[in-house]
Every structure is written in C-alpha cells, then in structure tokens.
C-alpha cells in the first residue's frame, strides 16, 4: 500500500525525506553527515553495478535512495540554520566604529544593546505599551545583527505614530524568551521562536528615537499601508467595535482589534478558523475574481489570460493579508491549479497539497512547528482524502438535504482530523462544533462577499449606503449567532490533556480506522490496535509519573 502511494504521489517521497531531516534538526548533528555519506556510497555503488550487471533492475532503487539521503541532509541543515537564527545570541563586547559614526546616539545609554532596527509589522496596542516586532539592522554588540526582537515601547504621542517599515534607534536590555504563567498549556516562548523572535525587551521613554520611514522598495510596508486603508474604508461604513474587528480579521487578517471576549467566543463555538484568512477566504476570492473576469472566458487564449490575472491578484491579496501560512498554502494551491489549466494539464489534488507544503517548508522550515500550518494542512488532507468517501455513504435526492449532509460531513471530517492537535495545544474541545459550522460557514461567506462588494462600490453615492447596510447586517447576524452559541450550557469541554506522543498515536489510530473502513485493509486493524495499546501505556506512564 505504501509503495503504491509513493508511486502515485511522487512529492510524498521527497517530502518525507525532507521532514525527517527537519524533525532531526534538534537532535544529533551526525545525521546530516551520515545521510550525505550514504548518498555518496549509494551513488558509487550504483555506478559500479550498472556497468557490470546485464540489467539495472536489481539496483534501480539506489539512485532514489541517493536523492532521499540528500534531501534528509538538506532538511537537517535547513532546520538547524532556522533554529539558530532564533537563538538568544551570546554577549559580545566592543563597539562597531561605523555604527557609531552613523548613529552617535548609540553611545548615549549604558544599556547592553544599542541598535538600529526596522519594524516588521504594525505595532500592537497593549494596556500600557506598544508591542513591536523588530529586525536588527545594526547593533552594538554585533551579534544581534539580523536577529528579530520583540520590544515594548512605553506609550506616548510619538510611539503611537510608528508603522510597519519605520526604522528606529533604541537602547534596551534584551531578555531570553520566558513562558508567561497565563499560557501554561500553550508554549508561547516556543511559538515566538518559530516566528523567528529570539528575545524580548522593554524600552523606556527617551531610550529610542525615530530615524527614517520605510524605503519605497519596502513591499511589506506598502502592503501594510494598503491594509490600513482598506480597514479605514470599513470604518467609514459605520462599522465599529467587534463588527469592525470581525470584518477586518476575516477580510485581511488584521486581528489586532479583536477583543479577548470575542476570541474566546469563537474558540468555545469551534469556529476560530473563520477568524483567520485561510482556504475558505481564498476560495471565495478566487470564485469572485472568476465572475468579475467573465469577459475573458470566451476563448482558450483569453481563459489562459484570465487564470494568469487571477494568480497575480490572489498573491496580491495574500501579500496584503500578511502572507500567513494558511493563506500561502491556499494561494499556492490555487496557483498550481491555475498553472495546470494554462498548460492544459490536470493535476492530482493530494499531490498538489503536498507539493505546496514542500515549497512552503523550503521557504521557511520553521513553518513545520507553526500551529496554524499544522491545523491547516491536517484539515485540508482530511478534506481531500477522507471527505469524498464519507460523503458517498449517503446520497440524498433532495438538494437542500444533500447540501446539509455535505456540509455536516465536511465539518465532522475537518474537526476529526484536527482534534488531536487542538486538544494537545489548547486542552479544550467545542461540543457544538457541528451546529456552529453548519451555520457559521455560510454566514462567513455572506460577510466576505458583502465586504468585497462594499469595497468595490464604496465610492459610489447611494449604492455604497446599501452595500454598507448589507455588510453591517450580515456582520451583526454573525456576531449574534456566535454570542448565542457560546452561551449554551456545556458549550466546551476544558481541562483536556494530550502529550505529544499521544497526539501522534491518535493520528496512527485515525489512519488505521480509515484504512480499515474505506480501503478494506485488514492489516490496518492490527495497526490500530497496536496504536491503542501504546496510547494506553503512555496514559498509564503519565498517570503514574
């Protein structure tokens, strides 16, 4: 079964080898050297045997093993480099004279780090400070150059004007990342390291100054400005408070204005995924663009041009939303499908999903440890592999009933394949997820379409008022539904706990049940029982320990 799967999905072989190297990047460094040594021996052995055997059939696997070992070594090196980038640097002494000449203010404070940095994202407002993510451009000591730092600026009139891309000079005492007491279940410090952040610091008033705005070639800053303009357009429609926060989060991934109460309501009802710009949103944008560009669909050449225009607009949308892993995954998948259409070649959906994961992990190996990346790909793989088979279990003739059945199957499958991760990370389970998703997913589609419609006609007198009313109505309906669902008794089960090995064993059991029920593999039942036995041993071990 595994061999047939590897033959049908060629990306899986390279992805498994690369993932093995990434997962081992925190272990012994000899794995990379061993993989490269094995790849060299396999290549030499193949070259020797190919010239001396009548056929190369008995040694056909040697070139493949050579490639796999190389990708394992590459995965290990990529993961090691990425983790080192987010390590807290060792203290260094000595001043860089060129930095002093360019920025004399670096010498005006006795604090240990004096640096010139660029702001990576728009500042996040806290109760008494502004939270900024910075990339160090110049520093004293030099060991901080290229590092990412989370700093907290004391609130004043000047700090409130900072934006993404601005450059500042500051002095502070960075501290290694620590786990806050209110996030005992979720490893917040590790999450920051996955984002590339290596330390945090508090910057007092007068310990920093503005240096320059972003350059004209700073595309990320330009995207941030565009996102702010679009959010301001929503504000002009009359939206405010939770309504504005919801529309901004769903449309452009701007989640800074979401209140803790609203985030908790979405978590309790099991529809937090709607707050993140993901595959659902990109699919809606893709469908909307195809409708708007209908005039390019009357010939083969114009249809290819339409797909190329859609690709460009999708990536522009992804860039404006901040290039989150879920948006990247969706945009890349639709890009691959569109390229297949342009070239007149079909593609296997599962292979396309895995190829998109492979490309994203090549770009940023630490995506593998991002919660959103893991949940996103688990949900998509479940929908691609399991959902079609579950949907075929019953085929109602009445279309409304069939629609409800398909939506229910989609919600159950997506929740099923992501539950081990959500319990492992957050320790809770939404009991009414099925009802919530059956209503919330269509409502979210209305909100997205209403948001896009309002932005397109916002400058048209009269029509913009109607569009604004539709947007506010859809948003309020959504918020009222979420509030009502979150207030139901027993809406969420809390205090659940799964250790990492238990999460893996649950996925082993899930795959075994899938193989037994749908693929009729009797051997899968044995694997499932073995996984259950190991899960019980793990539970007893943690209970006794």
Task: Provide the CATH number for the domain around residue 123.
Answer: 2.40.50
- Average pLDDT value for residue range 119-123: 85
Task: Mention every residue, 6+ apart, whose C-beta is less than 8 A from residue 87.
Answer: 198
Whether 161 maps to a domain, the answer reads yes
Distance (Å) of CA 113 to CA 99, 135, 150, 173? 13, 13, 13, 6
Quote the pLDDT of residue 63. Answer: 67
DSSP string, 36-48: HHHHHHHHHHHHH
Residues 11 and 160 in one domain: no
Strands (E), 95-192: 113-119, 124-125, 129-140, 148-154, 167-172, 175-176
Quote the pLDDT of residue 378. Answer: 86
Residues 454 and 323 in one domain: yes
**Residue 386: pLDDT band with limits 50, 70, 90:** confident
20: its two tokens: 């093995």
Whether 51 maps to a domain, the answer reads yes
Residues 115 and 263 in one domain: no
* Whether residue 129 has pLDDT greater than 60: yes
CA 404 to mean position of chain CA atoms: 29
DSSP string, 130-158: EEEEEEEEEEESGGGTT-EEEEEEEP-TT
450-480, pLDDT tens digit by residue? 888 888 888 778 888 898 899 899 999 989 9
State the Rg of the chain over Cα.
26
CA distance 545 to 43: 48
Count how many Cα atoms sit within 13 Å of the Cα of residue 94 in the half-sphere of its side chain. Answer: 6
Quote the pLDDT of residue 111. Answer: 44
Q: 3-state class of 459 per DSSP?
A: coil
Whether 246 maps to a domain, the answer reads yes
Residues 329 and 267 in one domain: yes
Quote the pLDDT of residue 169. Answer: 92
- Residues of the domain holding 533: 500-544
Q: CA nearest 22: which of 83, 91, 101, 111?
A: 83
Lowest mean pLDDT among 48-57, 73-82, 91-100, 177-186: 91-100
**Cβ atoms of 189 and 179 closer than 8 Å:** yes
Residues 249 and 132 in one domain: no
Please state, rounded to an integer, the average pLDDT across all residues of the chain: 79
Quote the pLDDT of residue 97. Answer: 38
CA distance 422 to 531: 20
Whether 75 maps to a domain, the answer reads yes
Whether 152 maps to a domain, the answer reads yes
Provide the domain count of the chain.
4
Other Cβ atoms closer than 10 A to 126: 11
459: its two tokens: 């400058």
- Out of 29-33, 293-297, 386-390, the most confident range is 386-390
Q: Please provide the distance, in angstroms rounded to a whole number, between the alpha carbons at the two ends of the chain.
A: 38
Placement of tokens 């400058």 in the chain: 459
Quote the pLDDT of residue 47. Answer: 60
pTM of the model: 0.81
127: its two tokens: 């109760």
Q: Which of 59, 85, 111 is the last residue of a domain?
A: 85
Strands (E), 407-508: 428-430, 492-494
CA distance 262 to 346: 42
Residues 209 and 248 in one domain: no
Q: CA nearest 226: which of 327, 161, 321, 325?
A: 321
Residues 123 and 257 in one domain: no
**Cβ atoms of 148 and 133 closer than 8 Å:** yes
Residues 210 and 265 in one domain: no
484: its two tokens: 């009502």
Three-state SS string over 449-489 comes to HHHHHHHHHCCCCCHHHHHHHHHHHHHHHHHHHHHHHHCCC
Whether 90 maps to a domain, the answer reads no
Residues 70 and 202 in one domain: no
84-115, pLDDT tens digit by residue? 888 887 654 444 434 444 444 444 444 478 88
Whether 536 maps to a domain, the answer reads yes
Placement of tokens 């508090």 in the chain: 202
Q: CA nearest 30: which of 68, 76, 71?
A: 76
197-225, pLDDT tens digit by residue? 888 888 888 888 998 888 878 878 888 88
Residues 23 and 72 in one domain: yes
Cross-strand partners of 429: 493
Whether 91 maps to a domain, the answer reads no
């Amino acid at each position: 079964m595994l061999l047939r799967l590897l033959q049908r999905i060629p990306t899986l072989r390279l992805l498994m080898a690369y993932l093995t190297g990434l997962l081992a990047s925190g272990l012994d460094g000899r794995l990379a050297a061993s993989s490269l040594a094995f790849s060299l021996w396999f290549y030499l052995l193949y070259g020797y045997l190919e010239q001396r055997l009548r056929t190369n059939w008995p040694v056909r696997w040697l070139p493949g093993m050579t490639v796999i070992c190389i990708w394992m070594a590459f995965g290990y090196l990529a993961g090691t480099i990425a983790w080192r980038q987010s390590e807290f640097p060792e203290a260094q002494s000595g001043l860089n004279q060129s930095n002093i000449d360019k920025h004399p203010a670096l010498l005006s404070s006795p604090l240990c780090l004096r640096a010139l940095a660029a702001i990576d994202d728009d500042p996040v407002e806290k109760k008494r400070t502004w939270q900024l993510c910075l990339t160090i451009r110049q520093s004293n000591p030099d060991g901080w150059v290229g590092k990412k730092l989370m700093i907290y600026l004391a609130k004043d009139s000047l700090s409130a004007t900072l934006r993404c891309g601005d450059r500042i000079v500051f002095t502070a005492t960075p501290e290694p990342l620590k786990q806050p007491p209110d996030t005992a279940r979720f490893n917040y410090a590790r999450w920051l390291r996955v984002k590339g952040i290596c330390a945090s610091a508090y910057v007092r008033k007068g310990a920093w100054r503005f240096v320059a705005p972003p350059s004209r070639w700073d595309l990320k800053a330009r995207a941030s400005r565009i996102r702010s303009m679009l959010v301001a357009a929503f504000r002009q429609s009359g939206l405010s408070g939770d309504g504005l926060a919801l529309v901004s989060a769903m449309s452009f991934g701007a989640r800074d204005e979401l209140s803790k109460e609203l985030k908790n309501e979405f978590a309790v009802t099991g529809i937090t995924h709607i707050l993140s710009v993901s595959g659902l949103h990109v699919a809606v944008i893709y469908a909307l663009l195809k409708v708007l560009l209908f005039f390019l669909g009357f010939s083969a050449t114009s249809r290819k041009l339409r797909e190329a225009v859609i690709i460009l607009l999708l990536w522009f949308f992804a860039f404006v939303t901040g290039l989150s892993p879920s948006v990247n995954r969706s945009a890349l998948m639709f890009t691959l499908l569109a390229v297949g259409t342009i070239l007149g070649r079909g593609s296997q959906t599962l292979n396309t999903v895995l190829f998109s994961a492979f490309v994203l992990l090549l770009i940023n190996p630490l995506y593998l440890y991002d919660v959103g990346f893991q949940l996103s790909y688990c949900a998509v793989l479940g929908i691609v592999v399991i959902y079609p088979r579950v949907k075929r279990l019953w085929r109602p003739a009445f279309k409304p009933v069939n629609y409800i059945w398909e939506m229910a199957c989609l919600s159950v499958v997506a929740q099923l394949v992501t539950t081990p991760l959500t319990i492992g990370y957050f320790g809770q389970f939404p009991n009414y997820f099925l009802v919530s998703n059956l209503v919330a997913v269509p409502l979210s589609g209305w909100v997205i379409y209403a948001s896009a419609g309002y932005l397109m006609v916002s400058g048209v007198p009269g029509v913009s008022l109607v569009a604004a009313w539709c947007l506010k109505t859809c948003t309020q309906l959504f918020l009222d539904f979420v509030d009502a669902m979150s207030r139901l008794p027993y809406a969420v089960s809390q205090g659940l706990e799964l250790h990492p090995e238990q999460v893996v064993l649950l996925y082993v059991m899930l795959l075994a049940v899938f193989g037994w029920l749908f693929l009729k593999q009797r051997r899968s039942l044995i694997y499932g029982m073995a996984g259950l036995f190991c899960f019980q041993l793990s539970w007893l071990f943690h209970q006794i320990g």
